[in-house]
Amino acid sequence: MEAAPFAFLTLRIVRCLSEWYLLERSYGIMLRFTVVMCAMLSSIPADAIKWDFDDGTTQGWTAKEALVRGGTREFYQFPGVVDEGVWRIKIDPATTMRTSQAGVQVISSPIDYDSALFDQVRVRFRSVHDRPTEGAVSLEWENDSGFFHGISDTTGNFAETLIKRLVYTTEWQETVFSLAGQDRWAGLVKNIQLSFNHFEFVEGFEIDWIELTGVGEILEGERPPPPVEHYFDFAGVGTFAPPVFYPLAPGLGEAPLGEAYIGNRNSVGGVLTDLDGDGDLDLFGLWKTITDVEFGARQSISGWLMAVSDGQGALERGPLGTEVNEDGIGASIRVLGADLTGDGKAEIAIYRSNREPRTAVWSIDEELQVEVLVQIERPIHSVADWDGDGRVELFVGGTTFEGSLEEVIAGTAEFYSTLAVWDVEQGVWTVEEVAATEDYHPAQIGDFTDDGALDVFWTSIAGRENRWVVGALDMELLQSGVQGEVFEFDEDKGLLGVGDFDGDGQVDFLTEFSADIIEGSKGLVLQRKGAGDRLAAEVLYDDRLLRRSPVLVEDLNGDGVDDWVFIGGDRVLGFGVFVEWGGSVQPTQEGERYRLEGTPRHVLAGDMDNDGDVDLVVLDPLLGGAHVLKSTLAEQATAVRTSVASRPTRHRLGDSYPNPFNPSVVLPLDLATDAARVSLTVYDVLGRRVRQVWQGPLGAGSHRFVWDGRDESGRAVAAGVYVYQVAVDGQVEAKKMTKLP
């Protein structure tokens, strides 16, 4: 539709009136027709789409801190509730980057209507403050071309144009943005974004309604808000128990998203290793905080911390170190943990960009005191058993270039990569060169071919060639160069994981679906070898999934096949742990998802409670701690071995735990016999259904269901008393539980 449908409609009306005048003027119909048409036009609704929040939800809208783009804070959702049709948003200074000013950005869910139908955005809002304050309000949008208004795809520079200065009163006020004549207001509207920036810190912000209006409704009538569709859900029931959060330090696990790709795996926010020599896995974590010291000026501070485990999965904070460069900017830190000296105790290999030399190996005693064993200038790469003596060695190396910055950007500079082994024998550390190559980077070391020997996974530097190579890591590598099995692909996407995910003995790859400068890496694609050397791509998740962590490849269930786990989600449902089980030609058909509060950023894996199975530890920068999800595989194995005599003798709904709870709770259920119809439902105290936890048949035995504290639409429920009720083949039992604020 062109930009002037109203003019077209007016012309049709005028022509119609003229014909009626010429043919029917003797009957006086002209006056009556004019009156009818005027009445029709005056009764047309003023709004095409209106989000009024009258259903008690945000109708797909989410809120975040304004003027903070990309990284972890891009996806920290401001807490808010809808009360009597008003969306009330709380601004917590403890979780905002800008401490002297407050800004709220609200983002719609996908709209997917033709932009030609609309020419205005209107909003009614109110600041929660003790006095009026100056500020600005701005409008942005994303269309089907994939860019935000004011953001250049080539430079990544941002320049808002639809912006207004205004005074925020403490009363309700309205503002209107005209879209007429905006050259990039074209195609399908994917979403709209409104930013409300205050020059003081306010306590909160409220929105009564948001309208997207225009001449299109004259032709087609008022449209309802687009339905909020969920691409996935967080079931919260499966292999892992509900998460338990341990506060440790602000900024724990924070790192640039670019660190999430293969080749930067020693920067995943921390490592699990035995720091104090007691046999339990502890956490050596990296942290980074960013704050605005004044408008437009930010300060970055980074460091490390130790957190000791009690052997049952609980973490307690130990020593904390701070690393700041001379200019006040936090240092770049990388870390690995392993027994490098063969003394049965783990050492820490740490790279810090603000130190000379930049890499050191630390020995840590039972009191968590650090002793520097050796230092070297070259950056750390990985650890692996290079010589087959049963002890791992430290690989070091990196990529350098010759040429100007312009040549690097243009891809014409000369790149060189090196790889060396840093080993110790009888207290003497030596470096042995392993590889030196041009245009290829040793991204990862591992046994990718399942032959018991180490391989190197090579990637092309700067994307010069659309190919990867997996070759043997042996003594001849320094002379032979990059050789091995070749994997060719059509388009260079961010590489996330390497493993055998379908159990066929061939190397498979995980890449991103797409990426942009604001929302970062999106989706997940499985790449498997097809005809010849060419890889065939299978989309597991498209760009509706926002991925917020590296992909960790690990055999999580002990079946000998690689699984993978990452942090993902979207703005509406939030973010959590995605566990995908390998061993199938369609790996994502069997997966589990656990929603987490806060801003989960990195996931680590290890046996935290010494029961023989793999648990998950998720680092959260804004909450400043770690979520621990303990595996229940050992418990499930015990349950399988339980004799028939020890099975439940009657149907029984168990006591929920923990009670009170926040955010998740376990609902136990015992069944004496197989049941054809089992329904487990959560209600509020008024008897209104909140969530259907289970519906269907269920076998005899003891079962545990996890309710994540959310309703059917994925919204966190309010604190208070709730009733969980089970119906087993017509028999009903109910109990109460309490959710904490």
* Pairwise CA distance, residues 533 & 511, whole Å: 17
* Residue 176 pLDDT > 70: yes
Backbone angles phi, psi at 473, to 5 degrees: -95, 95
**Does a structural domain hold residue 96?**
yes
Confidence of residue 326 (pLDDT cuts 50, 70, 90): low
β-bridge pairing 720-728 and 675-684: antiparallel
Query: Checking phi first, is residue 389 left (phi over 0); if not, alpha (psi -120 to 50) or beta?
Result: alpha
Same domain, 158 and 194: yes
Measured in whole angstroms, the distance separating CA 564 from the mean position of its chain's CA atoms is 15
Same domain, 32 and 92: no
* Residue 730 pLDDT > 70: yes
Please give the helix or strand (H or E) that residue 308 lies within, else none: strand 297-309
Calculate the alpha carbon distances from 193 to 143, 200, 227 in Å: 12, 21, 18
**Does a structural domain hold residue 517?**
no
Same domain, 708 and 675: yes
pLDDT of residue 724: 93
Per residue in 441-490, pLDDT (tens digit) is 888 888 887 777 888 888 887 667 788 888 888 777 766 778 888 888 87
**Does a structural domain hold residue 578?**
no
Q: How far apart are the first and last CA of the chain?
A: 50
pLDDT of residue 145: 63
Q: Percent of the chain having pLDDT more than 70?
A: 79
Residue 78 · residue 89 · CB < 8 Å: yes
Amino acid present at 564 = W
**Does a structural domain hold residue 134?**
yes
Same domain, 79 and 36: no
**Does a structural domain hold residue 485?**
yes
Q: Of the candidates 493, 510, 544, which is a domain's last residue? A: 493
Secondary structure class of 664 (helix, strand, coil)? coil
Same domain, 105 and 163: yes
* Pairwise CA distance, residues 238 & 596, whole Å: 15
pLDDT of residue 124: 96
- Domain coverage including residue 20: 5-42
Nearest to 125 by CA among 177, 69, 190: 177
pLDDT of residue 256: 46
pLDDT of residue 318: 92
Same domain, 393 and 486: yes
Per residue in 6-33, pLDDT (tens digit) is 333 333 333 333 333 333 433 343 334 3
Secondary structure class of 7 (helix, strand, coil)? helix
* Residue 98 pLDDT > 60: yes
Q: Which residue has the higher pLDDT, 307 or 235?
A: 307
**What is this structure's pTM?**
0.75
Same domain, 156 and 15: no
Per residue in 410-440, pLDDT (tens digit) is 667 777 888 889 888 878 888 888 888 887 8
Mean pLDDT, the chain, rounded, equals 79
Q: Which residue has the higher pLDDT, 161 or 428?
A: 428
* Residue 252 pLDDT > 80: yes
Structure tokens at 250: 């602000």
Q: Of the candidates 451, 474, 493, which is a domain's last residue? A: 493
Nearest to 664 by CA among 90, 221, 240: 240
DSSP state of 53: -
Same domain, 20 and 122: no
Structure tokens at 301: 């501070």
Torsion angle of the four alpha carbons 492, 498, 500, 501, in this order, in degrees rounded to the nearest 10: -80
**Does a structural domain hold residue 383?**
yes
Place of tokens 């998720």: 618
Q: Which residue has the higher pLDDT, 121 or 480?
A: 121
Structure tokens at 194: 């409104």
Amino acid present at 417 = S
Per residue in 99-118, pLDDT (tens digit) is 667 789 999 988 888 888 88
* Residue 615 pLDDT > 50: yes
Same domain, 66 and 207: yes
Same domain, 87 and 209: yes
Residues facing 702 on adjacent strands: 670
Residues facing 209 on adjacent strands: 124
Confidence of residue 562 (pLDDT cuts 50, 70, 90): confident
Helix axes 29-42, 5-24, angle to 10 degrees: 160
**Does a structural domain hold residue 728?**
yes
**Does a structural domain hold residue 487?**
yes
Nearest to 440 by CA among 397, 476, 410, 403: 397
Residue 563 · residue 577 · CB < 8 Å: no
Same domain, 177 and 35: no
Please give the helix or strand (H or E) that residue 407 lies within, else none: helix 405-410
Same domain, 24 and 159: no
Amino acid present at 298 = R
Tally the domains of the chain: 4
* Pairwise CA distance, residues 482 & 418, whole Å: 12
Q: Which residue has the higher pLDDT, 540 or 529?
A: 540
Question: How many Cβ atoms sit within 10 Å of the Cβ of residue 143?
Answer: 18
CATH of the domain at 61: 2.60.120.200
136-140, 256-260, 707-711: range with highest mean pLDDT: 136-140
Q: Of the candidates 436, 468, 493, which is a domain's last residue? A: 493
